Each structure stands twice: as C-alpha cells, then as structure tokens.
Amino acid sequence: MNKELLLALEMLEKEKNISKDVLLEAIENSLLTACKNHFGKADNVKVTINPETCDFSVYAEKEVVEEVEDSMMQISLAEARMKDPRYVVGDIVQVPIESKNFGRIATQNAKNVILQKIREEERKVLYNDYYSKEKDVVTGIVQKNLGRNISINLGRVDAILNESEQVKGEILRPTERIKVYILEVKDTPKGPRVSVSRTHPDLVKRLFESEVAEVRDGTVEIKAIAREAGSRTKIAVCSHDANVDPVGACVGLNGARVNAVVNELRGEKIDIINWDDNAAYLIENALSPAKVICVVADEEEREAQVIVPDYQLSLAIGKEGQNARLAARLTGYKIDIKSETQARESGLFEEMGIEYQEDMEEMENGYQEDAEETEDGYQEEYQEDYQAEVGEYPETE
C-alpha cells in the first residue's frame, strides 16, 4: 500500500475540498505525460490506480511480431514467450514500465501536471462556493483601498467594492467587519472575481430576512423596496397569515428588529408600510407619514393624482422631494402631489369628479387638531429627524 500518497491525497481533500477521485485522475494524466516525454509517445500506455490503496501500475500494450520495427509499440515473439510460452504473433502483451526510470524533465513535467490540476480544482471549488452565495449577504473584513475601490476579504477570496456600490459619505476602515451584498461572481484564470455592494436594495431585504423569522419563512413578504442608500429606505410588506401583523413583525419588540438593520446600515432611516393591491391605498401608505385627502390612480398610464391638506404638502414631498420620490419608486407610479388649495383653485376636484364639500374642510380640521396634539406635530423638521427604527410613524385617526 502506498501510504504516503494516500495520506497526501486525504489531506488535500480535507484542506482544499478537492475530491480524491479528481486527484487520482490528475496523477494518472501526469504519468501518461511523463511516458510521452520519456518515450516520445504514449498511445499504448495504460495506467491503473487502486483508489483504496493508491497503488498504481504503468504498462505498455505491445503487439507480438516476428521482427520488431517499433520497440515502443511492438515486442518480438521470442521476448514475449519468455514472459509466457503461450503467446503467438498478433497477441497483445502488457509490459510494465518503471516510473522511477523516468528522466528529470519527464518527472518535473508530471509534477507540474498534478500541481496545475490542483490549482484548477481549487479555483473551481472556490468559484462554486461563492457562486452559490450570489445575490446573498455575507460578512467581510475591510482590507485596503484600491484607488477609489475597496478590497473586502470574504474569508477565502477578496471581493471588490466598487466606488459606484459604496454608500456616499460612509467611511470604511481597515479590519472593520461589514455586511455586503454579492452582486456577481466571475470565473477567471486567477480565481473567482467577486463584486459586492453596500447600496443595492436587496441588501436591506436580505438583512430583514436574517433578522425577522416571519420574513425568512415566508409568512411576511417584502413586496417592494425603494432605497436611497445612506439616507432613507421604504419597504412595503404584506402578511400571508391573518394573525400576523407584517409591519409589527418587521419592527419587532421596542423596534429591536428594525434597529438591528438600521445599525448595520449605519443609521439609514427605514419606513415600513403595508402593501395593498389597490394602487390608491398603496400610494397613500407609501406617502406616510403624510396624510392624504384623496388619491386617483390611472393603472394604464401608471400615474396618480394626490391631494393632501395644505399643512401636509411639505411633509408629503419630503426634504428635497425624497418622500415623494421614494413613494414613486416603491409603487411604480408617477405621483403628482397637490395641496388642497392648489387643487381647489385649479379645478382639480371637478376634473377628478369629486364634489368638494364642507365635510372635507371638517376632515382637514380634524387632521389639523390631531397633528397639534402630537408633541411636535407633523412639521418638516419632525419628518427629517424622526427615526424610523422606533417603529411606525404615529397614525392620526
């Protein structure tokens, strides 16, 4: 039994996760290569390896002839009968080849064949490992800056965090542990090339899957995500179980679940709203925390007219239009927001077929009174500073 070879193969299989059968095949090919380099050709050379003991034998199949013209392919009848008297012309004789007699160059080439196969298999194993993690979140360690890009160590390979996939204003320091989203894994001669992101919307989705059991098992589904990395994210969720509140499940007790996601995103604010198949209700929810008087959605044109109370206009639009912009991305509708006064003066109520009555004014007054009862009201400053991680925005009746 070739114990040393067997132990070496088992060690390689354990450390590099390369199959022993693949390594045995590499040894077989290396011996054939050595024969070809030593004898000039190896068409009739055969190699047998016992996978259990790693004992191997190399032999050449030679044809028995009266007069030898090619010593590599043929054997004389007299020489063949020295091995077995029963041989006749035309028979095939298996002649053992002593691999220890190979020259230095042949041996070196055989060694290179084995090493090359090990490197190829190692690259293949790494590629398959990280390819299976594509579109998923992994933890990495910040290594160093590569110009404007950043190298992130993922354990067995280094990934590239391109400048376009970095959160604006986020400072990543060497040795810092961060979670990244694997965008793409490419197979290259130098090993797998992994591209990662900190700005992709699915990073938020995967983080919620890891923190919220109901999202992970499918009870709560994240239907849509709109994200401005480093600033604010809106997600729409629905529940497939009538007894499970999707927003409450994502927020967690005292905001514990959403807080964990917010901390990983370095304080990025997260708004969680209820998904609704009715586009008008969905748009109303998406504009939260702003209150809406009415929404008219055109499903064919994917456009919506929204009317809000005068004092809610700045809140509905948000700082630099962020709230309206994220709501449009979340719902897929082009949203036109008008204040109540603008709608009344432009005749928008009539165009929308809505009779503007005094009860709408009473409704607005009710909204105003509720807002005043809130500690800071729904002013723009409140909207900018309010931390989404403490749960849903306060609802008014």
Question: Of 253, 204, 252, which is closest to residue 230 (Cα–Cα)?
Answer: 204
Q: Half-sphere exposure of 67 toward its Cβ, with a 13 Å CA cutoff?
A: 1
- Chain segment 187-200, per-residue pLDDT in tens: 888 889 999 999 99
Tell me what the pLDDT averaged over the chain comes to.
82
Phi/psi at 59 (5° precision): -145, 155
- Chain segment 125-182, per-residue pLDDT in tens: 889 999 999 999 999 999 998 889 999 999 889 999 999 999 998 999 999 999 999 9
pLDDT (mean) for 281-293: 92
pLDDT (mean) for 286-307: 91
Q: Enter the tokens of residue 283.
A: 């748009």
182 or 393, greater pLDDT: 182
pLDDT score of 389 = 38
pLDDT score of 1 = 43
pLDDT score of 60 = 81
Flag whether pLDDT at 215 surpasses 70. yes
The CA angle 138-213-135, to the nearest 5 degrees, is 30
- Please state which of the ranges 8-22, 268-282, 380-394 shows the lowest mean pLDDT: 380-394
Relative to beta strand 137-146, strand 232-239 is unpaired
Question: Of 279, 320, 308, which is closest to residue 296 (Cα–Cα)?
Answer: 279
pLDDT score of 209 = 94
- Chain segment 69-124, per-residue pLDDT in tens: 887 788 888 888 888 888 888 888 888 877 665 666 666 776 777 788 888 888 88
pLDDT score of 106 = 62
Can you give the pTM of this predicted structure?
0.70
Query: What are the structural domains of the chain?
Result: 3-130 (3.30.1480.10), 133-197 (2.40.50.140), 200-275 (3.30.300.20), 277-397 (3.30.300.20)
Flag whether pLDDT at 387 surpasses 80. no
pLDDT score of 252 = 92
Contact, 101 vs 145, CB < 8 A?
no
Label residue 340 by pLDDT band (50, 70, 90). confident
